[in-house]
Structure 1
Amino acid sequence: MYSGRLIKGIGGFYYVDINGEIFECKARGLFRKKKVVPVVGDYVEIDIIDKENKKGVIEKINERHNELIRPSVSNIDQAIVVFAVTQPDPHLSLLDRFLVLAESQKLNIIICLNKIDLLKEEEYREIVNIYASAGYKVILTSSKQNIGISDLREELKNKTTVFAGPSGVGKSTLLNYIHPRLKLQTGEISIKIGRGKHTTRHAELMAVEEDGWVVDTPGFSSLNMDFIHEDDLHFHFPEFVPYMDNCKFNSCKHINEPSCGVKEAVVLGEISKNRYTSYIQFIDEIRKSRRY
């Protein structure tokens, strides 16, 4: 058997990179019986059944280090979450949702705020401050003005990175500037609805310089919280953690309890009210989902 990495899956066909050669593969029926579905990013073992036409069969899926739910990818080192400062306007609750997902998988997380050429700095500085104060690295970019492109390129080296964010924020355009040979399709913002049009149709793993891999993913507009237990949620807001020792109760949910260190930090401005509002919203969603 040959070892490789699954880089794309479409319509029951899986494309596996083996030392730079791409083989089109089907998966053995035993995976269906075990209810295991190969996903982009999997390290796999294949039998080559037609070397000339590069056809094979996936025989084994090696153990995954981690797996994201949406986008569905595995064995990721880090997430670069891309949002535009405008066109479309940033949906911070959606950003917080993806951060929770990435935190739950123990990924290194970088936030990329794109299209900064369209606004004055004072118009987006508050967003930068919210997430920098929460402990996240924030990179500001503009492909039109070549701002931040080299910083992004540096972050991709020697890592497998999921490049994610809503449609229309410029993910594919940024990747094209970082690595022009990728030639990813890009789209425009719909004037009528104020959102981006989907240009990435499926998750795909792409090789970049210096042993790096990037997953350009379809844009997403919603992400349910039902994969997180409410007792764990506060750990996925890293800025909460230093204040949790100041809570009177070990089981504090930071909502209605007295003497709560997290709530006190919000009042003092040490934790963003926007982030705390997202936390309360997510707790409510998790509790409602448990009732059904």
Structure 2
Amino acid sequence: MAQGMIVKALSGYYYVLPDGRPPGSGELIQCRARGIFKKQKITPLVGDRVEFGLTENGEGTVDAIGERRSELVRPPIANAELAVLVFSVHEPAFNAQLLDKFLVHIEHAGLETVLVLSKTDLSTADAGWRTEIEAYRRMGYEIFLTSSKRQEGVEAVRERLEGSVSVFAGQSGVGKSSLVNALLPGLELLTAEISTRLGRGRHTTRHVELIPLGSGWIADTPGFSQLDFAELEAEQLAEAFRDFRTYASACRFRGCLHHKEPDCAVRAAVDAGELADWRYEHYIQFLTEIKERKRRY
């Protein structure tokens, strides 16, 4: 039984790169999944480590799926290790509330996070975003300043992604595509060819693919397409705010939601200026959203 990794999924086929073959070599085995997976309600995902067997026609069947270290629903990828969040400092302006929303989902999924700030060449004298970014740096998040136009910071990002399976996310218009194209010259041409072969637009396909970047991989997908807290419970929200964790253990009640409970150490830290009040405001907004979702159901 051979082993490998699914690097592309398209129209019910899974394209496996066998172990020992170099990434980007094009030497992929086109496979179907065994019917047993459907009965078990398991869907093979891009990024899965698999065992596969070859059929007489040179194609293959996925016979077993290895244990997943992580699993994302949107985009549907297994074993991603790193989320690259791309936010611009200008046009559109840096949006800390949206960044916090992304971070909640990524922390909950158990991925590491790299924050890439784009369009730094357009940065004005307004230093508001710098103050907020320093708060994230103090929380332990890695931050890279980039300008695709000037090719600044791109090499540092490339080095950080070496050896990891990375997914990209961020609001539209922040230069995410420009950054990916700077990291992967020729990717734009590759995706255009795929779209032409399929006879439809790139973003209308159910096409998820890992593109090799040195010894690592980048997920070529639209990224996190929905941030609706559908998979998150109120009790899990605070765990996704890493700056709350130091204080949460000192709360009077176990499972404290840090809202109206007495003797809440998180609220006390906000009042004392030890936690950023704007981060806490975002937390309450998200908590309210989760509670209202439960009431609707």
Distance 1:104 1:245, change over 3 A: same
1:104 is matched with 108
Runs of 4+ in 1 over 6 A off after TM superposition: none
Which ranges of structure 2 fall in alignment gaps of 5 or more residues? Answer: 192-201
TM-score (norm 2): 0.84
Is contact 2:259–2:284 with CA below 8 Å preserved after alignment? yes
Question: How far is 1:222 from its partner?
Answer: 3.1
Is contact 1:45–1:59 with CA below 8 Å preserved after alignment? yes
Q: Work out the number of aligned pairs and report it.
A: 280
1:8 is matched with 8
2:28 is matched with 22
Q: In the alignment, does 2:54 pair up with 1:44? A: no
Question: How far is 1:287 from its partner?
Answer: 2.0
Is contact 2:168–2:223 with CA below 8 Å preserved after alignment? no
1:130 is matched with 135
1:212 is matched with 216
Partner of 1:30: helix, strand, or coil?
helix
Identity of aligned residues (%): 41
Is contact 2:234–2:287 with CA below 8 Å preserved after alignment? yes
Which is richer in helix?
2
Q: In the alignment, does 2:290 pair up with 1:265? A: no
Q: In the alignment, does 2:152 pair up with 1:166? A: no
Aligned equivalents of 2:87, 2:203: Cα separation in 1 = 16
Partner of 1:24: helix, strand, or coil?
strand
Partner of 2:166: helix, strand, or coil?
strand
Distance 1:96 1:184, change over 3 A: farther
1:265-284 alignment runs, 5 A limit? 265-284=269-288
Is contact 2:7–2:15 with CA below 8 Å preserved after alignment? yes
TM-score (norm 1): 0.85
Distance 1:284 1:2, change over 3 A: same
Question: How far is 1:220 from its partner?
Answer: 4.1
CA deviation digits over 1:195-218, x for unaligned, max 9?
Answer: xxx869643211111x21221320
Question: How far is 1:143 from its partner?
Answer: 0.8
Partner of 2:55: helix, strand, or coil?
strand
2:198 is matched with none
CA deviation digits over 1:249-283, x for unaligned, max 9?
Answer: 33321111233221122233322222212211222
Aligned equivalents of 2:86, 2:252: Cα separation in 1 = 37
Distance 1:111 1:279, change over 3 A: same
Question: How far is 1:75 from its partner?
Answer: 0.7
Q: In the alignment, does 2:128 pair up with 1:144? A: no
Distance 1:124 1:251, change over 3 A: closer
1:153 is matched with 158
Question: How far is 1:50 from its partner?
Answer: 5.4
Q: In the alignment, does 2:256 pair up with 1:252? A: yes
Question: How far is 1:123 from its partner?
Answer: 5.0
Partner of 2:163: helix, strand, or coil?
coil
Partner of 1:70: helix, strand, or coil?
coil
